[in-house]
Amino acid sequence: MVENWDDFLVPYKQAVDELKVKLRGIRAQFLKIDGRSPIEFVTGRVKPVDSIKEKMVRRHISEDRLEEDMEDIAGLRIMCQFVEDIYQVVDLLRKRTDINILEERDYVHNKKPSGYRSYHIIFEYPVQMLDGEKVILAEIQVRTLAMNFWATVEHSLNYKYQGEFPDDLKGRLERSAEAAFHLDEEMSEIRDELQETNKHEPGKDVRKSSDEDSHLQ
């Protein structure tokens, strides 16, 4: 049973802080070597206690099974410019020795009925505490900026309608999700065409990156 929520959440907060530093470090290395990174920016959060309790009720999770059955108490989000970047980031995560991936859910090319797209990775992460190592469950979501915009708006509307969208609004959300994905596809095609043009025009470099810290949150 959870006697003190602040104490219970300490390793989750530490995991989020550590992983944000590591993932942003990867981004910095890519920028230094290649001038461009598949990671645009990284955010992370620990689920608020009220949200944990609400999900426990909704998913029928008992307090004594909380650490084993709730995968997203610690959550990170990696934003990418292009769909192809998502899979590059996933490959990078698979090769890491500090996380143990338990499950992958590809909602990018297997979208949810709502239109939601993202790539989810559930993993174990060891946190060094004063009394020894503690392995926690955590989640990373990898998505494009367009996918994130849609998901953020849809999530805020979910609170207003408590998940029960009117049919008309549900249809419009699904269509807007498809429009966002088509935008991703179009931007990838534009990028590919520019790179192809660059091959035939020596001296030009179309790789541009924003300032390293400008998008980090």
How confident is the model over 133-163, as pLDDT tens digits? Answer: 999 999 999 999 999 999 998 888 876 666 6
* Residue 177 resides in a domain: no
- The pTM of this model reads 0.86
Residue 186 is a catalytic residue: no
pLDDT value, residue 197? 82
Percentage of residues in the chain with pLDDT exceeding 90? 75
Residues 6+ apart with CB under 8 A from 157: 165, 169, 173
* 138 SS3 class: strand
CATH code assigned at 88? 3.30.460.10
Domain total in the chain: 1
* Residue 198 resides in a domain: no
The catalytic position among 63, 124, 139, 178 is 139
pLDDT value, residue 206? 46
Q: Is the dihedral of CA 15, 39, 71, 162 positive or negative?
A: positive
- Of 81, 106, 109, the residue nearest 94 (C-alpha): 106
